[in-house]
Structure 1
């Protein structure tokens, strides 16, 4: 598996890989959870990994 920096990136930030895209954060999410979730989602998107690749790396 390639490290994230070697993965091609599209202008929209996606990796061009198949798979389900992240949906928006639900309006009902509390502020504490949102404060944790927003940077986590940003890091995940910037990594270029698919959810399956993340699962394989983290177990």
Structure 2
């Protein structure tokens, strides 16, 4: 997953992200929510390291 995120950020500017199809009722152990959270944190972390938020 990190390789995918780093490749996307390194290749071009990411301007948005959408997490869909998480159904808490069917995510009994929370693994889908945890994976989505990790994806978001990794993307934000890589964007910060790539200085996306510098003026």
Class of the TM-score when normalised by the shorter of the 2 chains:
0.3 to 0.5
TM-score (norm 2): 0.39
| Structure with the higher fraction of residues in helix conformation | 2
TM-score (norm 1): 0.37
